[in-house]
Amino acid sequence: MRLWTVTREGAVVVAEYHRGGANYVVDAAVEELAGIARSLRGDDAARCLVLTGRSGEPFITHFDPEQILQGVLAPETVVRRGPVRNAAVGELFGVLSSLPFPVVAALSGDAMGFGFELALACDLRIGQSGDALYGLPEVRLGIIPGAGGTQRLVRLIGFDRAFDIVVRGRALSPEAALAAGIVTEVVADARARALELGHEFAGLPPVAVAVAKRALHAGVDAPLSAALTIESDASVRAKLAPEARDHLEEYVSMSPSQRREWLKR
């Protein structure tokens, strides 16, 4: 049974997770999503990927706790399978960051543990108002996040806030996540808003979007001097694309007042 349902709305690809119940994630779901992401690398028609849960269900509550307990009860399995599982997750997240278009997490409901880590690996996160919970509760279970949650969160919101969330095992409301800078916005319908953003991305020059995303990801952890070189190289590459000439010629043909209105779109 497939765990991810893939649909398209024009240039926007939507991958919806559904396992039923609490929508816990399992290894098979990681492998399946990685296959979906890899298939989009060569899809010239795709301009945005939206990850979400089925309407009225959690996004991904967290990793299946029964699977985690089985590992804890059989330490030799953790030693043998742990690196393989971590490598699979790392590959998935790497593919998502390498896609030449934005990946948006539409947090339709609870997103904790692995669900939260997957959201952190996306380019944007849209929260949904209601009683959803976001966070990394692992410490409360005697474990810690293992799919990059501690490292991505501290880079996103800083050490103090990340420490407070991780070490206390806090589960945040959508509004608290917004105040902490974890989600971009909180809306009544996260999926609808993500699709709206996806169509907006689809209307932008694709090479510029791809190069800008690559520069941001490549430079975020680099020293400033190296990051500035990354940006400079990316800027040159963007200017060499035919779309730069076409859009600049259109912009230059406008009057100053028309240009200002165009920028407000």
Q: What is the mean pLDDT of each run of 10 residues along the chain (265 residues)?
A: 93 94 86 96 95 89 75 66 76 95 96 94 96 93 88 95 96 96 97 97 95 93 90 89 88 90 83
State the total domains in the chain: 2
Same structural domain for residues 115 and 174? Answer: yes
Same structural domain for residues 160 and 33? Answer: yes
Domain that holds residue 132: 4-202
Please check whether residue 126 is in contact with residue 107, taking contact to mean a CB–CB distance below 8 angstroms: yes
Please check whether residue 37 is in contact with residue 30, taking contact to mean a CB–CB distance below 8 angstroms: no
Same structural domain for residues 70 and 179? Answer: yes
Residue 72: per-residue pLDDT = 67
- Tell which of 183, 202, 221 closes a domain: 202
Same structural domain for residues 181 and 224? Answer: no
Residue 84: per-residue pLDDT = 73
Residue 82: per-residue pLDDT = 63
Residue 238: per-residue pLDDT = 87
Same structural domain for residues 196 and 228? Answer: no
Same structural domain for residues 113 and 133? Answer: yes
CA 166 to chain centre: 19
